[in-house]
Amino acid sequence: MTDTAPRPTLEAVAARAGVSRATVSRVVNGGDGVREPLVERVRRAVEELGYVPNQAARSLVTRRHDAVAVVVAEPETRVFADPFFALQLRGISKELTAHDNQLVLLLTEGRDDHARVGRYLAGGHVDGALVFSLHLDDPLPELIQRAGVPTVFGGRPGWSDGTTDVVYVDSDNRGGAREAVRHLVGLGRTRVAHITGALDQTSAADRLDGYRDVMGDADPELVVRGDFTPAGGERAMRELLDRCPDVDAVFAANDLTASGALRVLRERGRRVPEDVAVIGFDDMLPVAEQTDPLLTTVRQDIEEMGRLMARLLLRDLDRRSGGATPAGVVLPTTLIRRASA
């Protein structure tokens, strides 16, 4: 481990360049309003001394941190079993670094973690927060509201009644689900089932709504509850086959669920897609492209969602937005046809 060296200050650079601190500061912050020869001299001094501004000192006066907190509430380990989280993070990271902002990651695992996050956000360490509000009963949004930090949510928050001014980015879960089910119907399937996700998340509820939009009058027995995991998909598929042996199509709430369903289907000797057509949701490549047969699914651009969240937040932070920030942004989905339906 290396030792920490004493860093040169603005003062030192000023002395070396033979100018005042203010001038150095100007140059360092863009150099507007400083004559070229001086700029040059200061730049050289900065270079020679290896000067890097002290962020703490700067923040103290500007009240800006150029840092954004990303809060991932994950009581369960599910997030860690699929690349969703990582992809979104990458999108966020790209956008943030493009605007010279840092990403402070706050992972919460339990109740006491919530308090810690609340304190941190209230502590004014960051300019804003990006929050993944995963469950209906999550206390986090409440805490954040109170902390008074500009925030953008990932996924439509369940507690938002639409009248408040929560900003969020979401996929068109309902529309995507509709498209998937319509595709199944278009294939001539008449007994189209749905394995839901964890229904305390709006994404799962919305996909179920989409299914019902198309299959509203269908046998309610065809809807089985899942939980977004492969194991849940297996369980649900078994239940489904027992309950409705004549099922000829399944719309699974996500790819992981579909992969579990696929396994059970094979185990029970049903051919896919001949006997039962299967569609997933997400287009999680490592899953959808590894199933047998390859999975037909509804793609959502996860990385873009992350990027968009960051962009929305940053725009709000630079109060340039004459008009109000849009309350919710919903990204389109696309059906990716492979072999399973």
Name the segment binding DNA (CB under 7 A); options: 20-28, 127-135, 171-179, 220-228.
20-28
Is residue 208 within a helix (H) or strand (E), and if so which, with residue range? helix 202-215
Sole residue written with tokens 């805490």: 143
Which of 2, 3, 5, 61 touches DNA by CB under 7 A?
Answer: 61
Name the segment binding DNA (CB under 7 A); options: 34-42, 152-160, 207-215, 263-271.
34-42
Smallest distance, its own copies to C-beta of residue 326, A: 11
How far, in Å, are 85, 154, 219 from residue 71 at the CA level?
11, 10, 40
Count of alpha carbons within 13 Å of 151, Cβ hemisphere only?
Answer: 26
Name the segment binding DNA (CB under 7 A); options: 7-15, 98-106, 198-206, 333-341.
7-15
Distance CA 217, CA 223 (A): 12
Taking each helix axis from N to C terminus, what angle separates 10-17 and 21-28, rounded to the nearest 10 degrees? 110
Question: CB-wise, 206 or 234, nearer to its own copies?
Answer: 234
Q: Which does 218 bind (CB under 5 to 8 A by kind): its own copies, DNA, none?
A: none
Distance CA 81, CA 227 (A): 13
**Can you name the residues that pair with 70 across neighbouring β-strands?**
105, 130
Q: Does 320 bind DNA (CB under 7 A)?
A: no
Q: Does 58 bind DNA (CB under 7 A)?
A: yes
Name the segment binding DNA (CB under 7 A); options: 54-62, 157-165, 169-177, 307-315.
54-62
Question: CB-wise, 22 or 52, nearer to its own copies?
Answer: 52
How far, in Å, are 160, 215, 223, 260 from residue 191 at the CA level?
34, 10, 11, 19
Distance CA 320, CA 18 (A): 37
Smallest distance, DNA to C-beta of residue 2, A: 19
Q: Does 148 bind DNA (CB under 7 A)?
A: no
Q: φ, ψ for residue 259 (rounded to 5)?
A: -65, -40
By CB under 7 A, name the binding residues for DNA. 7, 9-11, 18-23, 25-26, 28-29, 33-35, 37-38, 51, 53-54, 57-58, 60-62
